[in-house]
Amino acid sequence: MEESMRTRLEITQARLSQIERELSDESIGNDLPKLTKLTKERANLEPIVLKFKEYLKQEGNYKDSFALEETGDPEMLELAKEERKASSEEMEKLEGDLRLLLVPKDPNDDKNIIVEIRGAVGGDEANLFAGDLLHMYAKYAERQGWSLKLLDASLGAAGGYASVSFMIKGDAVYSKMKFESGAHRVQRVPKTESQGRIHTSTATVLVMPEAEEVDVHINPSDLKIDTYHSQGAGGQNVNKTESAVRITHLPTGLVVACQTEKAQLQNKEIAMQMIRAKVASYFQEKEDSKRAQERKLKVGTGERSEKIRTYNYPQNRVTDHRIGFTINQLDRVMEGELEPVIDALIHFDQEQKMLEEGKEEAHAENR
């Protein structure tokens, strides 16, 4: 194990001990924010320290095996070799696990998300596909035990959605959904196609972690707030009051709308959540793109224009172009069985970050 990595682990171990001392102090119950923060930090550090203790135990066994050789007994010599080999293999595995655990965690991973899907290239077929993607994410959310709430929708003329926004709440939602941002391409024969020709259409997805007021400051004077009648299918008014709310962030031109609640105040509160998330995501995307160019890291850039995945219906195939992952189970994926795709993306991202961490550690040791 590199000395820099061992030092980081020893610092982590010392920090956990400090946290446990602070949590054992009876006065901590009077400071709820601090209690919550320390409890969360302890939960993050405990798996690392436990794994490090396992590593140190195997390292001790490895060193002890040399003492067995000093007896000069042939049987003990053979036993020492076997123990050393077993400890060495286990240490190698544990070091890999620790390297992964030390990869910095995305601070947004535990957050709820707001998702925006738009029919893009392909007219009616793109809108229909946007509806299919909403169905896919709704089913995936259901499988994960998450809740999904529709926030705003603009229906397509032939069905589906020209645009649709929704919120997903649950455990570690952003950590699993963050790689869904980008252009999703569908290849299939539209229902309106009489010649049986395959058409290619595109829908875009934007996944934004929920942002609190403390996460992003928005000057009230930078917002333009409009109210209007909520619209139903066919353009019919859902109610006669202007309960729907549209908010425009003037410096960036970003727009959100919410019309799912009956009361204007509730729609405004939700729309404010949406605009905070969208503005925060806008600036984060700029920062991520800059960093990705500098470090050539990440599973794609997450920009709407980036083609990330193709759904080929005739061949029942889904391909994620960022990592070259293909699965011939499109029918199951569209019913929410996204786990194989998302797990592959998470694994790839972790490997990339581990490589980057390794390069930085090597650079630090050579200085």
Tell me: do 98 and 126 sit in the same domain: no
Determine, yes or no, domain membership for 134: yes
Domain assignment present for residue 366? The answer is: no
| Residue 176 counted as domain residue | yes
Domain contains 258? yes
Q: In terms of domains, do 230 and 92 share one?
A: no
Report yes or no: 206 and 281 within 8 Å, Cβ to Cβ.
yes
Both 81 and 131 in a single domain? no
Residue 295 has a pLDDT of 47
Break the chain down into helix, strand, coil percent, rounded to 5. 50, 20, 25
48 class by beta-carbon count within 10 Å (0-12 exposed, 13-18 middle, 19+ buried): buried
Q: Give the chain's largest Cα–Cα span.
A: 95
Which residues partner with 258 through β-bridges?
Answer: 245
- End position of a domain, from candidates 45, 79, 102: 102
Joined together, the tokens standing for residue 12 give 């982590």
CATH classification at residue 94: 1.20.58
In angstroms, the CA 53 to CA 32 distance is 31
Q: Would you give per-residue pLDDT tens digits along the chain (367 residues)?
A: 888 789 989 999 999 999 999 999 989 888 888 898 899 889 889 999 999 999 999 999 898 888 777 777 788 888 888 888 999 999 999 998 888 788 777 888 888 999 999 998 888 899 999 999 999 999 999 999 999 999 888 898 888 999 999 999 998 899 999 999 999 999 999 877 777 788 899 999 999 998 876 667 788 999 999 988 876 543 444 455 678 899 999 999 999 998 888 888 989 988 998 899 999 888 887 776 665 554 444 455 445 567 899 999 999 999 999 999 999 999 999 999 999 999 999 989 888 887 776 666 555 555 5
Name the phi and psi angles at 159, rounded to 5: 115, 175
Are 44 and 83 within 8 A, CB to CB?
A: no
Residues 319 and 190 in one domain: yes
Place of tokens 């058409």: 199
Query: What range defines the domain where residue 76 resides?
Result: 3-102
Shared domain check, 125 and 80 = no
As for how many domains the chain has, the answer is 2
Q: Same domain for 183 and 308?
A: yes
**Domain-located, residue 107:** no
Residue whose pair of structure tokens reads 């194990």 in the numeric block: 1
- φ, ψ of residue 185 in degrees (nearest 5): -105, 135
**Neighbour count for residue 169 (Cβ, 10 Å):** 14
- Residue 230, pLDDT score: 73
Structure tokens that stand for 239 in this block: 């109610």
92 and 119 inside one domain: no
Q: Is residue 208 part of a domain?
A: yes
Report the C-alpha gap between 146 and 246 in whole angstroms: 27
CATH number at residue 134: 3.30.70.1660
In this prediction, residue 362 carries a pLDDT of: 58
**Residue where a domain terminates, one of 102, 129, 153:** 102
Please say whether the beta carbons of 205 and 137 come within 8 A.
no
**Identity (one letter) of the amino acid at 263?**
A
- What predicted TM-score, i.e. pTM, was given to this entire model? 0.69
In a domain, 121, yes or no: yes
Q: Are residues 77 and 127 in the same domain?
A: no
Q: Are residues 152 and 92 in the same domain?
A: no
The residue from 51, 76, 102 where one domain ends is 102
Is there a single domain that holds both residue 207 and residue 234? yes
C-alpha atoms less than 13 angstroms from C-alpha of 254 in its C-beta half-sphere: 21
**Which residue do the tokens 């050789």 mark?**
69
- Do 36 and 172 lie in a common domain? no
What's the pLDDT at 237?
45
| Same domain flag for 39 and 120 | no
Residue 361 lies in a domain: no
Which residues, listed in sequence order, are joined to residue 200 by a DSSP beta bridge? Answer: 187
